[in-house]
Structure formats: structure tokens, C-alpha cells
A and B are shown apart, each in its own frame.
Chain A
Amino acid sequence: MLLAEGLRHAFGAVRALDDISFALHAGQTLAVFGPNGAGKTTLLKVLAGLIQPRAGRAHIEGGRGAVGWIGHQPQLYGHLTVRENLRFWGSLYDVPAAEQSRRETDLLSRLDLHAHAERPVRALSRGLVQRVAIARALIHDPRVLLLDEPFTGLDRTAAEEFRRLLAGQTADRGGRVTVLVTHNVEEGTELATDVAFMRAGRFVELAPRAGRGAAAIADAYRRAVTGG
């Protein structure tokens, strides 16, 4: 469902992606761990179609309409209410009206936002905004979900809650492919079915998680990326 073949990209002389290839199928969640500057965000942007890579290709079944994105920017309009935001973003993805209402109600209740549905987003707390951002990313029921350092700026409790909500969403939508990039190994491991370590634009390791816990992954990461 998601295919990357020989992706290469550079910004000027800096190599951001160096021959990245992998494939993901329905139900898989790939967590990409890497230090800042490893090229993680670039990878996501190439997958999403925001950047045209210098070489190689990325293919997502369903094109841009099948992609949902959660980053550190909530991408919500402060002056609009929660519901208006959802309706706007849904309309850009051509979600039919009946579906739109159904999904709105569904997401609002699942994410416990019903009480705030008619409030403008700028009046909401950071934690609530994060939840609305999840709703926004899922309103068009994307088959592929891309997460760019979603835990940034969240304290432990908020991050935990976010992870829980995300896990709930991902589990329900069994056929979804998720790619999560982060530099924080502890926070990303639990959601993953597969794990990749990225350094200087390359995958130094790509393997199934195989039931390993956060500590084991963190260990493997340290060894792989910092070289011992």
C-alpha cells in the first residue's frame, strides 16, 4: 500500500535521503527513529508528495487523498470552531456530506471532544487542540497516516494520552498504514509493528519490532546510530 523505491534527495550539498527503499502493507506501523537532521521529516514529505525526490519514487495507493498527517503544527484555523475546522478539511478531501456528519460525530465522541465542538479552536488548551488535530487528520479516513514528531512539546502525561488515543484510532482502522518519525525512542516504540533507524539519510536498520520493548529498541538504536 505504501512503496518507497530508491529515494534520494538533497538540499544543496546536504544529502537528506540516500537510497531509501521499503514497502508497507495494511495494518503495519513503521516507527522511524533518528537524530535531528537525519532526514526523517524529508522522508515523510516525500512520501506525502510534498517534495519531489531527486531520484527514486514513492507511491501511496490512493494518492494525496488517502494520506493523513499529524505534525507539531495542528493545522487548524483558530477563529473557526472545532466542527467548522473538521467540515472545512473534510470538504477539501471531498468527503460526501452524509459521511462527513457521521465521521464528525464518531471522531468527536471517540476523542471526547463533543463538549467543545462549537468552540473556536483558539479557545482550547494545547491538549484539546492536539485531539482536534487527530480528528482533523482522520476526518477523511485516510489509508495512510503520517506522523511527524507528534510528541513535540507534550509533557509525559499529554504524550501518554496522545499515544493512547492514537493507538485506539489505529487499532480500529485495521487496514491503515502508519509511519511515525521521532527522535524519542521511548515514545514511539509501543505503537510500532516495525522499526527503522535512520542516520544521515539512510536506514541503518529496518526490522519488525518482534515484541521488543522500548528499552531493547532504545539499546539497539543507540548501537546502530551512534555506533556503539
Chain B
Amino acid sequence: MWRHAWRLARKDLLIEFRSRTAILSAVVFTVLVLMVFNFGRDPTAVAAVDLAPSILWVTFTFAAMLALNRAFQLELENQALDGLLLAPVSRSSIYLGKLIANLVFVGTVEAVGLPLFALFFNVRITPVLGPLVVVIALATIGFVAVGTLFSAMTGRTRFAELLLPVLLLPFMLPPLIWAVLATAALLAGRPLSEATGWLRLLAAFDIVFVTLAFVLFPATVSE
């Protein structure tokens, strides 16, 4: 299963980085959002470190949405989904492949966004970089897992780009809130033990929803 999933993911990433439109727009969008937030606040009234976690996560969330919107678009454009279903590839491999590709995509945008964020908002992330990356990774896995499952369903509907965010919103809010709280704790220099509660929730969420997505994905493509 992993073998096929990896090949599927590689194919997606190859196409994505070759066509470059999606990744570029995601990165540009990230920069834009960060800049707008910076100019929008009054530096004397609000300390950067108070708003910072929210800003970071709003940016990442939008980037994830951009990635997820085009997730199954690729198969639809090329009408290749049936071809994938015909091949002796398990449905779970297809999901896993998409998940990996989406995670790499969003991860890349986050890897660009995080240093920019630290730069623009003068936030010191290096002392807490390790735990911060863990928080980002866990939260990203959470909403990309659910988002990949949902994009398989919304792809063929009429208002796909609108429907996906609406469906995803209630599922993104909990991990997002936990991530913001954990990030806030970390950036404020609080001891690690304060953030662990949120980390555990994120991990539990990931385990439950990745498993659920694996189990439910075949139902979205079978006939």
C-alpha cells in the first residue's frame, strides 16, 4: 500500500511543482496575508506576541484551503480517477497518496511562511522551534486529513470551492484553537508542560480522524 501511495503522491507533486501555479499562489498569498496583518495593527496598542499565534494560524489555514481545493481537481481535470480505481491499487492507497501530496504541499508553504512570520513580526521562534514544529505538524495533519477526505466528495459538486470550506470549518476549528493556544504558550515562553494538554488533544484528533478518513474514503469513490 505504501508503495502505491508513494507513487501516487510523487505523481501529484511532480505535476504540482511542474505547473507551479498552485504553489506560487499559495506562497504569494501567505506573504500577502502576513503583510496585511502587519500593517493592520497598531504596534503601540497590541504587542506582536499577543496577536502572533492567531496570525500565524490564519495564514496556515488559508494555505491549507488552497491546497485542498485543488486536491482532487487534478484527477477531475484529467478524468483519471476512474483509471486509478481500475488499477490494482487499494482505495486506501489512493487516499494515502493524496494525503501525502497535500501534506508536502501545505508543509512547503508553512516552511516558507514560518520564517517570514518570525521576520515580519519580530517573533523569536528559535528557542521553541522544536515544539513549535511539532504543533504545526500535528495540526496540519489533522485538518489536511479531514480536508482530503472531504475534497474527494466536494470535487464533483456544483460549488466545490465554496462547499469545501463550509464543510471543513467545524472540523478545523478545534485543532486550530488548540494549535493557537499551544503556539501562544510556546511563544510567550511558558513552560512546555502548559502546552502538552493541547498537544495531546491534537494527537488524539489526528489519530481518530486519520483512521476515520482511511476507513471512510472507499465509500466516497465506490459505486
Physical interaction between A and B: yes
Determine whether the beta carbon of B83 is less than 8 Å from that of A89: yes
| Assembled-state Cα–Cα distance A89/B8 (Å) | 10
Q: Is the CB of B86 within 8 A of A73?
A: no
A65 engages B82 (CB within 8 Å): no
B84 touches A45 (CB 8 A): no
Knowing A50-B223, A51-B223, A79-B15 are in contact, say whether A92-B78 is a contact too (CB < 8 A): no
The answer to whether A79 and B223 touch across the interface, beta carbons within 8 angstroms, is no
User: Is the CB–CB distance between B87 and A89 below 8 Å?
Assistant: yes
Q: Are A64 and B88 neighbours in the complex by a CB distance under 8 Å? A: yes
CB distance from A189 to the nearest CB of B (A): 26
Binary CB contact string for chain A from 76 to 109 against chain B (1 if under 8 A, 0 otherwise) = 1111100010001101111000000000000000
Question: Does B42 make an interface contact (CB < 8 A)?
Answer: no
Chain B interface mostly? helix
Whether B77 pairs with A78 at a CB distance below 8 angstroms is yes
How far apart are A81's CB and chain B's nearest CB, in angstroms? 10
Q: Is B215 an interface residue (CB 8 A)?
A: no
Q: Is A174 part of the binding interface, using a Cβ–Cβ cutoff of 8 Å? A: no
Interface residues on B, range: 20 to 34
Residue pair A77, B86 in contact (C-beta under 8 Å):
no
Number of interface residues of A (CB under 8 A): 27
The answer for the CA separation of A67 and B85 in the assembled complex, in Å, is: 12
CB neighbours (8 Å) of A73 from chain B are: 79-80, 82
Among A44-90, those with CB < 8 Å from B are: 45, 48-52, 63-65, 67, 69, 71, 73-80, 84, 88-89
Interface on B for A, CB 8 Å cutoff? 4, 7-8, 11, 14-15, 18-19, 74, 77-80, 82-89, 222-223
Q: Which are the 8 A-B pairs with shortest beta-carbon distances? A: A75-B83, A73-B79, A65-B88, A92-B87, A64-B88, A79-B15, A51-B223, A75-B80
